[in-house]
A and B are shown apart, each in its own frame.
Chain A
Amino acid sequence: EAGVTQSPTHLIKTRGQQATLRCSPISGHTSVYWYQQALGLGLQFLLWYDEGEERNRGNFPPRFSGRQFPNYSSELNVNALELEDSALYLCASSWTLGTGSSYGYTFGSGTRLTVV
């Protein structure tokens, strides 16, 4: 069974540009979660998608957005990049709403975004 895959592995962008990060969940998982991990810090919850809808978002500005496609893969978009957006962005997937919290997440290896 393939794990959670994220692309690209590394991304370098200039301040003010837009970044698009992609995530494919484990087959059968309908929930996708995005987390930001700045250097040396814990994971900050960004977004949760389930069945194509945004279910919850963390305390991040609107320039962080995303979507979930019919095949349950997901995109995270960061507009108007700022230097402090440099971080490891982790995607995780789980079973569907209502049952996901009873199981562990399966994480991808992350996308390291560097804003220069």
Chain B
Amino acid sequence: SQQGEEDPQALSIQEGENATMNCSYKTSINNLQWYRQNSGRGLVHLILIRSNEREKHSGRLRVTLDTSKKSSSLLITASRAADTASYFCATATNTGNQFYFGTGTSLTVIP
């Protein structure tokens, strides 16, 4: 399977703390993306990092990519209750358009 796997499966933190979740994948990729899903509804695109990039920032989000280890991490700084959601990584290969999603990390931010 080309799907990635997120770690941990579930994470619970206090508001204001940082949240870190990791993604591992199996094949060579063109880019890796992170998505958020609230309450089992549609996914929202957060950030994309290309295979030749190592780190990317967007607001309170920081994504790193280590292609040698086939892994990525998503850091959410100064978390808020509204960040409570499931977070998925998705990988795009060089041979196709479709993305393969991981199993997700369920993040709970306690007010």
For B3, B35, B41, B88, the residue with the greatest tally of chain A CB atoms inside 10 Å of its CB is B41
Chain B residues within an 8 Å CB radius of A97: 97
Contacting B at CB under 8 A, from A16-45, are 31, 33, 35, 37, 41-43, 45
Q: A101, B42: Cβ atoms under 8 Å?
A: no
**A33 partner, pick from B33, B50, B93, B98, beta carbons under 8 A:** B98
CA distance A106 to B30 in the complex (A): 18
Q: A42, B102: Cβ atoms under 8 Å?
A: yes
Q: B42, A107: Cβ atoms under 8 Å?
A: yes
Q: How many positions in chain B have a CB within 8 Å of any CB in the partner chain?
A: 26
Interface status of B13 (Cβ within 8 A of chain A): no
Chain B residues within an 8 Å CB radius of A104: 33, 35, 45, 48
Shortest beta-carbon distance, B12 to chain A, in Å?
17
**A101 partner, pick from B41, B45, B88, B96, beta carbons under 8 A:** B96
Shortest beta-carbon distance, B3 to chain A, in Å?
7
CA distance A41 to B101 in the complex (A): 10
Q: A42, B88: Cβ atoms under 8 Å?
A: yes
Q: B31, A102: Cβ atoms under 8 Å?
A: yes
Q: Which of A48-56, A63-71, A72-80 contacts B (4 or more CB under 8 A)?
A: A48-56
CA distance A42 to B92 in the complex (A): 16
Q: B103, A48: Cβ atoms under 8 Å?
A: no
Residue of chain B at shortest CB distance from A3: B42
Do A42 and B31 form a contact, CB below 8 Å, given A33-B98, A94-B97, A103-B48? Answer: no
Q: B101, A42: Cβ atoms under 8 Å?
A: yes
**A108 partner, pick from B42, B92, B99, beta carbons under 8 A:** B42
Q: Which residues of B contact A (CB under 8 A)?
A: 3, 30-31, 33, 35, 40-45, 48, 50, 88, 90, 92-93, 96-104
Q: Could you write out 9 A-B pairs with CB less than 8 Å apart?
A: A43-B43, A45-B99, A48-B98, A100-B97, A102-B48, A102-B50, A104-B45, A105-B99, A108-B42
